[in-house]
Amino acid sequence: MIPSADREWTLKEIRRALADLDKERFVKRSSYEDVAYLENAIHDLRDAERSLISEKEEELISQLRNAATILADHSRTIRANVAKMNRVAKVVDNIEGVVKRVVDVIQEFNRWH
């Protein structure tokens, strides 16, 4: 199965065509010219395969970089929110300490009066 020339081949299609050409190349009835033609076609398909893999690799790297940037942004937001929450918790702890001291002072005052 050979895809039409007006669209790009998928990696699966290239590999299927390579397998078909490899089978055809080893048929005993093939002439030297046919084998040479098949080997040139295989070479061209291998080049197309490497090129497609390289393109896909670049796309994936770009997508991974974008995802890493998004994750870094989320991480910064989370750290900022945690810092705010920690400040609130620290204020609550300080208020608790002040309330305990006030209670201690009131208890001492009541003990003396």
pLDDT for 7-29, tens place per residue? 678 889 998 998 988 888 777 67
Q: Are 8 and 16 in contact (CB under 8 A)?
A: no
Domain boundaries of the chain, sorted by first residue: 11-80
> Quick one: what percent of the chain has pLDDT higher than 70?
92
> Tell me, what's the pLDDT at 78?
96
Total residues belonging to the chain? 113
pLDDT for 48-64, tens place per residue? 999 999 999 999 999 99
> Tell me, what's the pLDDT at 1?
47
> Tell me, what's the pLDDT at 2?
52
Q: Are 33 and 19 in contact (CB under 8 A)?
A: no
